[in-house]
Structure 1
Amino acid sequence: MVKDPTRGDPRDTPIITKPWTPPVDQNVYDGDNPPTAPTWIPKPDWDPKNGGWKPEDGVKAIISGPSILNMLLDGQDGFSPDQVTDPHSAPGADPDGSNGDDRRGGDCRTSLGGWRVYEPLDRQGRATGIEACLDSAFLNANKGSSPKVEKIAPPGYTWAAIRAGELGNRPAKFWRNACHLLGAQLSGDGLRYENLSTCSRSANAKRIDPRDPGQHPNMLHYENKVKNAIDAGRVVQYRVTPEYEGSRVIPGRFHMQADVWNANGTRVKLFDDYVQNTMYSVKDGTFHNIGKEIPEGWHK
């Protein structure tokens, strides 16, 4: 066969193929020159007018801690908000009693009954006060306790013993005390720093040393008034606040306050008074306010 020179050899003809196309990168913000990402935020895909859920429904879903406890303990006795580990979440922390639905009509009690609140220590470790709503049921279920100063002593307790000796008052244990803010007979815990302040014996209760002329009224006088009202079937809202001179760790005085609810639901002020934290001196025959005499910066 004669080769046609005009047609050429088919084996010499190049094969043309389509170039390879790389896959499309799905990330539009990838590569050498990505576009700027948008700064707007998409709106939620729901209609607040016609949807089944409304923003305020989240607020309606909030239930207070005491209400939850009340539901869980429905019908059970012997529980008080003070038994919750966080004392500051207990009802009654507001002295005006503005705790909404937790309060029962007519007095300071909640749906769980009486309560007590130990206010937190301040930065110097000083007790700052107590408040309680007390009735006979609460006192029967919550017994108080005496201090054990070998374990827990309030600030200034050692200094007060030294000062008692300087005033000629020995032994010191007859002249200075670790005072309950909420008394033991009113369910007060004697093993809580939040409930203890250093005080003179005469400011606290009846004198021990016959040379001590004593002080009247003292803290026990007001505690007895509260206890007598409760024993008579009344409900009492009680508050004690230690007041300090500057950074001194012993109170100069104690503010004693109480309101009582009578059987007909009327609220009456039982007392609003002060007890001065004074100690009598056998040496000079005068009273000394140990809360004002303790040096600033002294702690023990």
Structure 2
Amino acid sequence: MLDLAGVMALIAMKALAPHALLGDGTGGMDTGNRADCRRGGEGWVEYGYLGSANGNRATGVEARLDRGYLDTHKGTPTGREIKPPGYQWARAYLGHLGGLKTSSAINACHLLGSDLTGSGTDLRNPASCSRQANTQVRGDGRIGDHMFSYESQVKAAVDSGQVIHCSVTPRHSGAYTVPVSFDITAEANIPDGSPGIAFKQTVPNSVYSPREDWKNLGLVTDSRTGLPVPTGSLP
């Protein structure tokens, strides 16, 4: 299983941009002590803008979710035509690493999961990620706390009647278009003051190759040029 502490130390060494929440670098999101900020008594979802200076990469999503909102707003899957920035590059990179099934090892990950009303077709929501970062995989090379595991916790909390404020933010190193990691936060508001779900976690965008061990998809350099890839409009 992936050593998360080691990966995060490597990210710090690579001078990860210090602010990478909604807005592609406008500062962090304070999730502490939030009141019930539903709008007109209803939940809501807000996607960040596309980072046009960096290949139109997704910049994040923030949401206030309750059972009523999930009942009336349905998420959608990503189709084969949905290819976030760096998606095709990532599949080619896995072919270079070897030992992986490239058709399934790279995903167009929902930032806000479809079970939580997230869109699979609005390009402000998908991001290129490893299958290990996205969900549970079989065999060697597992990230125990993957994105779907946290989405499932939020869904269960909403189903139990909690009102949840959550955010998911892809973190990028400089001009890379593929994320280094995903920051996922959730906090419940319960009127009677009883405890609810609360967490702030990071999922590394790493892939395991039997030949090359762990590699972070957001920290790759071209061995021929020494330059970071992918950047700009590289698909």
- Is the counterpart of residue 199 in structure 1 residue 129 in structure 2? yes
Q: Of 114, 120, 130, which residue of structure 2 is paired with 1:184?
A: 114
Amino acid at match of 1:131: E
Amino acid at match of 2:70: L
Amino acid at match of 1:242: P
Query: Does the CA-based 8 Å contact 1:234-1:263 persist in structure 2?
Result: no
Partner of 2:36: 107
- Is the counterpart of residue 164 in structure 1 residue 113 in structure 2? no
- Is the counterpart of residue 128 in structure 1 residue 128 in structure 2? no
Secondary structure at the counterpart of residue 183 of structure 2 = strand
Relative contact order (C-alpha < 8 Å, sep 6+): which is higher?
2
Q: Once superposed, which parts of structure 1, at least 4 consecutive aligned residues long, lie more than 2 Å away?
A: 94-97, 210-213, 265-269, 296-299
Query: Does the CA-based 8 Å contact 2:86-2:230 persist in structure 1?
Result: no
User: How far 1:129 moved relative to its partner?
Assistant: 0.3
User: How far 1:176 moved relative to its partner?
Assistant: 0.8
User: How far 1:168 moved relative to its partner?
Assistant: 1.3
Secondary structure at the counterpart of residue 202 of structure 1 = helix
Q: TM-score, with normalisation over the residues of structure 1?
A: 0.61
Q: Aligned partners of 2:29 and 2:215: how far apart in 1?
A: 32
Query: Does the CA-based 8 Å contact 1:130-1:195 persist in structure 2?
Result: yes
Query: Does the CA-based 8 Å contact 2:89-2:230 persist in structure 1?
Result: no
Number of residue-to-residue matches in the alignment: 197
Q: Of 68, 74, 77, which residue of structure 2 is paired with 1:143?
A: 74
Partner of 1:264: 192
Amino acid at match of 1:121: L
Q: TM-score, with normalisation over the residues of structure 2?
A: 0.78
User: How far 1:170 moved relative to its partner?
Assistant: 3.5
Q: Aligned partners of 2:230 and 2:91: how far apart in 1?
A: 17
Partner of 1:289: 216
Q: Which runs of 5+ in 2 are unaligned?
A: 1-27, 221-227
Q: Residue by residue, what CA displacement relative to the aligned partner does 1:228-252 show, whole Å, maximum 9, x if unpaired?
A: 1011110000000100011000000
Q: Residue by residue, what CA displacement relative to the aligned partner does 1:120-178 show, whole Å, maximum 9, x if unpaired?
A: 1112201000000000100010000110132x210000011011111214421221100
Q: Residue by residue, what CA displacement relative to the aligned partner does 1:76-114 show, whole Å, maximum 9, x if unpaired?
A: xxxxxxxxxxxxxxxxxx9569xxxxxxx9512121400
Query: Does the CA-based 8 Å contact 1:127-1:196 persist in structure 2?
Result: yes
- Is the counterpart of residue 251 in structure 1 residue 165 in structure 2? no
Percent of aligned pairs sharing the same letter: 36
CA RMSD, Structure 1 to Structure 2 (Å):
2.3
Q: Which runs of 5+ in 1 are unaligned?
A: 1-93, 98-104
Amino acid at match of 1:186: L
Q: Aligned partners of 2:48 and 2:193: how far apart in 1?
A: 28
Quick check: which has more Rg, 1 or 2? 1
User: How far 1:265 moved relative to its partner?
Assistant: 4.1
* Structure with higher strand content: 2
Q: Aligned partners of 2:95 and 2:139: how far apart in 1?
A: 14
Q: Residue by residue, what CA displacement relative to the aligned partner does 1:196-221 show, whole Å, maximum 9, x if unpaired?
A: 110000000011xx444311100011
